[in-house]
Amino acid sequence: MGRCHVVMTDYKYDSISIIEETIKAAGYDFSVYQCSTAKEVTAAAKEADALITHFAPITREVIGTLTHCRLIIRGAVGVDNIDLEAARERKIPVANVPDYGRNDVANHVILLMLAANKKLCLLNDAVKRGAWDFNLAKPIHRIEGKTLGLLGFGGIARMVAKKSRAFSMRVLAYDPYADPAAAGEQEVELTGLERVLEESDYISLHLPLNAETFHLMNKEAFSRMKKGCVVINTSRGDVLEEESLCRALENGTVSAAALDVLSRETIAPSHPFCKMEQVILTPHSAWYSEESVETLLRSVAGEVVRALRGEPLRNAL
């Protein structure tokens, strides 16, 4: 048999030297592409023993052409671009990297929550326009003692809960799949979705995007919220119905929103969010630090090597 061949379908990192050096040091061939269509992926990946992907579509048709692939791995948390059912049918393991930026995202959530609470962007813009007046931000209330609601209670949400204790916040969480013991360790009360919506002053979304969560935050959900709630989303854009959020911001049901993800990225300057001073937008950057990128690349490379050596995977889905 010849040497194993690892194919990287696409990437948007400044450098992939960590991946390349690790794979070649293990004795495997490595090819890199910048595929954007299923047709391009098919042409590049047919003979791959392991497939690394970022945004390229790994469709049923692509998976059907893989002749001896032993791993498909996405260098991210979500695997929206991979047809998991098709991979299962072909018995090709799929893996992700769920933990490379947990602390970074949790810090970003806390940053957005505090910025919304203190109306940081509004005051910053006002001062730069020559208005030195804290009254422009009234009213501001202390965050201590307020209720933080977490939708989803995975690794990032648990870290957010831990960090929120520094502000003496009460924390509720909705996640039908969560481990009650993990919630207890973080002094978090697991409860139903309606109660989280009705009692939370801040709601932070930590949900994967799937059939259960698509537009979970819709018109009905916003109508159930405690008036003046702040909504934070660092998970996936489509778990939140943006038109309904716009209406909730306009009628005051939601007092502010802080969004790191959107249903379509990028956003046009004409979008209603861009015209609302109570909306904070960041460009899907919550995950980013130089350290998180290095951790991500090393994790991808390590998982590929384990797969090709027949060793147990760390993050198989």
**Nearest by Cα to 246 from 269, 272, 222:** 272
Identify whether 194 is a catalytic site residue: no
**Rg (the chain; Cα; Å):** 22
Amino acid 213 reads T
The whole-angstrom separation of Cα 60 and Cα 221 is 34
* Alpha-carbon separation of residue 133 from 119, 129, 145, 276 (angstroms): 13, 11, 27, 20
Among residues 215, 224, 271, 284, the one annotated as catalytic is 284
Identify whether 224 is a catalytic site residue: no
Instruction: Outline where DSSP puts E strands in 33-88.
Output: 50-53, 72-74
Contacts of 253 (CB under 8 A, 6+ apart): 222, 223, 225, 227, 228, 229
Question: Whose structure tokens read 């998991």?
Answer: 84
Contacts of 98 (CB under 8 A, 6+ apart): 77, 154, 155, 315
Among residues 102, 236, 241, 242, the one annotated as catalytic is 236
Amino acid 139 reads P
Among residues 212, 265, 291, 311, the one annotated as catalytic is 265
Chain centroid to CA 228: 25
The whole-angstrom separation of Cα 20 and Cα 116 is 41
Give the pair of three-digit tokens for residue 271: 């979008």
CB atoms within 10 A of CB 294: 14
Identify whether 206 is a catalytic site residue: no
Give the pair of three-digit tokens for residue 140: 């501001």
Contact 238, 214 (CB under 8 A): yes
Q: Give the catalytic positions in this structure.
A: 236, 265, 284
